Structure 1
């Protein structure tokens, strides 16, 4: 049986994971907004139209590449794994327990 202390430690760990993700997300938005804003202003000062300045690859490259990292951080934090679901884990556990029992029974 699990004690309240163990439950609390697990809950605290989960909260730390969530805080880490949300801090990462806030930093992502703030830094990318600042970088993109500076890039757009610099492009406008170089004579580009607002549309040209906005749709420059460099304006959104950081958003995209860092966004991949945010995506995987979110998948890990929120336990969103389409390949290794809880059902898959339970089937594998049952499979290995059954195999172990067969091996044990073989030598009885």
Structure 2
């Protein structure tokens, strides 16, 4: 038995609704990605400025914790932002293992061709 709401939606309307839903999800995802890239750009610019300022003002060596503490702790937050936007499957996604196997098989195939 069909759902009552289905009787009021024509197939064309349903397709348009699904297309609009997909568009809104994609737009939201793109906005999150753009937000991450802005966060990353601000992280780079601000931390260069802060590191140089602390280095010049404190007289600490450049590789001291005083100079690097802000980029390290902000970087941890940036990593969590990255994982929130791209997810944990970004590095080792669903097809990662299969792609790596194919890559190494192709590489081996190319090497044997020259022998």
Aligned-partner Cα distance in 2 for 1:8–1:33: 38
State the TM-score, normalized to the length of structure 1: 0.63
CA root-mean-square deviation: 2.2
Residue 4 (structure 1) aligned with residue 24 (structure 2): no
Residue 55 (structure 1) aligned with residue 63 (structure 2): yes
Q: Which runs of 5+ in 2 are unaligned?
A: 1-14, 95-115
Q: Deviations over 1:13-64 (max 9, x none)?
A: 00011011111111111111100011112234xxxxxxx5202211000011
Q: How does 1:87-102 map to 2 (within 5 A)?
A: none
Aligned-partner Cα distance in 1 for 2:70–2:56: 16
Alignment: residue pair count: 77
Q: Which runs of 5+ in 1 are unaligned?
A: 45-51, 87-108
Structure 1 stretches (4+) deviating beyond 3 angstroms?
none
State the TM-score, normalized to the length of structure 2: 0.59
Aligned-partner Cα distance in 1 for 2:20–2:50: 44
